[in-house]
Structure 1
Amino acid sequence: MEIRNLHQPFELDLVEVTDYESQQHKNTFFEMVFVLNGKGTQIINNHRLPYCSDKLFLIFPQDTHSFEVTLPSKFFFIRFNETYLKTQSKEWVQKLEFIFHNHNHSPSCILKTITDKPLVRALVEALIREHVNHQPQQQEVIKQLINTIITIAARNIVQLPLSTSENGKSENALPLLNYIHQNIYEPKMLKAEVLAKHFGISSNYISEYFKAQIGQSLQEYIIDYKLKLIETRLKFTDMQINEIVHELGFSDASHLNRIFKKYKGISPSEYKKSFKN
């Protein structure tokens, strides 16, 4: 299988095809695909789904990907790698992390809000113009447009089905999980009594209710999700351990190191080194 690399922080690509079947491949970078027009089949991780105009797909590193074109199609690709991520603000990286850990990695369009489809189309068309016209401050405008599309994608992810890692959980689990994912950087919002009040459940019953819906305790799930975020930061950013400690509400670096090593078997620094190797 072909492995595709990206040798610059980001890349924009407008592709028009009339009759084409892409060979299955994996990327080492993130990719967003917006369909300007045409029809065919999008295939991600062996899941198949028809595509048409105004669809937006997300493809993550190590996802297998291909597509089959049945009618002349025009695609706009936005590709970016970890180098690009390291130039972005903490808030933007958090949006990407939310997408990464909540998207189901299927070929379904992530735009579930009707009004967001023409909005994303307008942003993509603006990106195409900026990419071609070479106006002053071009790179800065392009980055702002890309980040806006990412933000719109993040808010639509909330309305999508659970990721494959969450399969088998109760339908009532989705609001609970979305609440935790959106408030993971606010420890006070994750206290049992606050969660109980938000969902109108007795504070004495919320822990039992959560475990019945999710299959593990509230604290266990929060730790698991924080560990996923730590892994993402270690892989794709240059954040220092103390920065991660502060952001995710650990008491100190030794607390984070102890928890990470308990569940992952190695320290955060060893994990980062092994990933780079």
Structure 2
Amino acid sequence: MKRYQQFEPVLISDFSVSQWEHPEHNHNHYELILIRKGSGKHIVNGNPISYESGMVFLLGPEDCHHFETGEETHFTYIKFTDAYLYRKTGDHQKVIHDLEYLIKSRETHQTGFKLPDDELHTVRLIFNVIVALKDHILYNQDLIWYQLLTLSRILKRNMPELKTSGTQVRNLQAIFCYIHKNIYEPDLLRTRVMANHFNLAADYFGNYFKRNTGTTLRNYIHQYRNTLISHRMTSGKTSLKEIAAEFGLTDASHLMKIIQKK
């Protein structure tokens, strides 16, 4: 499978094609895609999804995909790397959390977003601003960044809520999304609290997760949190004290103990 490598922190593409020319591929970056017009199939990780004008897709480095255009399609791409995602911290933490949750929530990657008319109108306008900035990306990186954060907030509030109905209690995706959404709130990730949320006994909940994932709930939470912490540390823009506070930890020493724990 072909893998595209992007070394620039952010790139913007805006183009129309009658026939898609790229083979099935993945990449080392994230892609936020707006279908401005047209229809066809978007094949994501082997799953065909019918697309139409106004749909939005978010893909991560682990996703393989390609398009099959049914009619001429106008695409706008925002392609960004981890370096761009974590370029700012501090007051931007909450919106970075929104992007992290969207990126990790697999159901958004698979099916895309079908936005209500008022939200779609706003999203189209934001994409128009981004396209207008694309010829001078280095100069406009901050402006593009703020548009991206605004898009993430709109997309997050349009995600389907994960209910704890009988048909979804055993849906691992719902459990994963709960973890990703609450990774900054340690008290909400206790087995007893999570089991209660999904209307299950604590012992059954832990056993169910391990049986279906091959790892313990505690280990999954630990590994996912460490991945996010590693991104913060690699960016060099956040102190250990600030990272600890962001993840609800006592102090920097508590943070280091968690990182070093196997």
State how far apart, in whole Å, the 1-side matches of 2:49 and 2:145 are: 30
1:148 alignment counterpart: 150
Q: Judging changes above 3 Å, is the alpha-carbon distance between structure 1 residues 231 and 139 closer, same or farther for their aligned structure 2 residues? A: closer
Matching of residues 18-57 of structure 1 within 5 Å: 18-57=18-57
Question: Size of the alignment, in residue pairs?
Answer: 247
SS of residue paired to 2:54 = coil
Shift of 1:211: 4.9
2:59 alignment counterpart: 59
Corresponding residue to 2:96 among 80, 84, 93:
93
Shift of 1:51: 0.7
1:103–1:160: 8 Å Cα contact kept in structure 2? no
CA offset digits 1:122-157 (Å, max 9, x no partner): 21122223335x69x744322211221122222333
1:215 alignment counterpart: 208
Shift of 1:107: 3.5
2:195–2:201: 8 Å Cα contact kept in structure 1? no
1:37–1:54: 8 Å Cα contact kept in structure 2? yes
2:55–2:115: 8 Å Cα contact kept in structure 1? no
SS of residue paired to 2:107 = coil
State how far apart, in whole Å, the 1-side matches of 2:114 and 2:181 are: 18
Corresponding residue to 1:126 among 118, 129, 135:
129
SS of residue paired to 2:72 = strand
Q: Judging changes above 3 Å, is the alpha-carbon distance between structure 1 residues 253 and 112 closer, same or farther for their aligned structure 2 residues? A: same
Consecutive unaligned residues in structure 2, runs of 5 or more: 211-215
SS of residue paired to 1:153 = helix
State how far apart, in whole Å, the 1-side matches of 2:185 and 2:121 are: 33
Identity over the aligned pairs, expressed in percent? 24
2:226 alignment counterpart: 230
TM-score (norm 1): 0.71
1:85–1:93: 8 Å Cα contact kept in structure 2? yes
TM-score (norm 2): 0.74
CA RMSD of aligned residues (A): 3.8
Matching of residues 248-263 of structure 1 within 5 Å: 248-252=247-251, 255-259=254-258
The worse-fitting range, judged by mean Cα deviation, of 88-97 and 152-161 is: 152-161
